[in-house]
Amino acid sequence: MKGTEKQIAWAEDIKQKYILAIDSRINEIAESKSRRMTEEMRAEQFAEAKGFREWMLAHDEAVFWIDNRDIDSFRPWYGIRMKMLLADYKLLKQEGRA
pLDDT in tens, 5-43: 999 999 999 899 888 888 888 898 888 887 788 889 889
Mean pLDDT is lowest, of 27-31, 65-69, 80-84, for 80-84
The DSSP output letter for 37 is: S
- β partners of residue 61: 2
**Using CA atoms, how far apart are residues 70 and 74, in angstroms rounded to an integer?**
6
CB 76 within 8 A of CB 21: yes
The pLDDT, as a whole number, for residue 22 is: 80
pTM (2 d.p.): 0.68
